[in-house]
Amino acid sequence: MGAVYFYHLTESPLDQALPQLLDRARAQGWRVLVRGRNQPLLARLDTVLWEGPDDSFRAHGMAGDHDDNQPILLVLDHPGTGFDCIMSVDGADLTAAEIATAERACILFDGQDGDALQRARGQWKTLTGAAVAAQYWAQEDGRWVKKAEAG
């Protein structure tokens, strides 16, 4: 059974944190699904992943663009089956069942957004209540620090 890691973004925006976490997941050899709740955000993240230094190229695609061949797939609504890592952005839902089929799931949320904090707290309660192992990580002085663990 997989575990879910909650990433509380307090020092860097999603546009900076997501590429770093994707690099870590890909270094494990994992195929990654990034699920969001609105198309404009996913389109912005698509652009962010194409930009950057040449040595930081991140092969990826948007849903509907040869989905089965993408090492990183950005989606609005897509089952997590077939992915080693599922990342939730913008409060996108993850289920205990799909987390169980993955090596890892990640929920990234903006620490400056009260609604995002409440949604993440609700997700923590729901998922840990379903016996999903969970870890809570927060940014501190430019690094990730584990603050809590359940399961």
Q: What is the CATH number of the domain that holds 72?
A: 3.40.50.10110
Predicted pLDDT of residue 145: 96
Total count of residues recorded for the chain? 151
Domain range enclosing 131 = 3-150
Q: Report how many domains make up the chain.
A: 1
pLDDT value of residue 135: 98
On whether the CB atoms of residues 77 and 100 are closer than 8 A, the answer is: no
Tens of pLDDT along the chain (151 residues) come to 689 999 999 999 999 999 999 999 999 999 999 999 999 999 999 999 988 666 677 888 888 877 888 999 999 987 778 899 999 999 999 999 999 999 999 999 999 999 999 999 999 999 999 999 999 999 999 899 999 999 8
Sign of the CA dihedral running 74, 76, 78, 84:
positive
* Single pTM value for the model: 0.93
